Amino acid sequence: MVTVTAVTVDHDSDQPVYQQIADIIRQRILAGELPPRRRIPSEQEMVQEFGVARTTARRAVAWMRDQGWVYTVPQRGTYVTPPDQPGHD
């Protein structure tokens, strides 16, 4: 079983909260806590874990998708992009 590291966001930081969340998820991907094709936390789970609004969680997911770290399957969830897929950095 993989242990997911608990991290908090800094609401007073110059970095937008959605980018902080995206960075946390990205670090979990790089650390192997979220392997390729594994579902990332849902927006609602991010709301609960990070204490943010759902729109902030949604922006974090959109930003990670735009960066190629994750892909979304409608009605199923958002998953870690395998490293051999186009768009993965």
Distance CA 66, CA 7 (A): 23
CATH of region 17-80: 1.10.10.10
pLDDT digits (tens, 9 = 90+) for 22-65: 999 999 999 999 999 999 999 999 999 999 999 999 999 999 99
CA dist 49 → 17, 52, 89 (Å):
13, 8, 26
Domain ranges of the chain: 17-80
pLDDT digits (tens, 9 = 90+) for 69-87: 999 999 999 999 998 765 5
Whole-prediction pTM value?
A: 0.84
**89 pLDDT tier (thresholds 50, 70, 90):** low
Distance CA 41, CA 27 (A): 14
Q: Which pLDDT score is estimated for 11?
A: 85
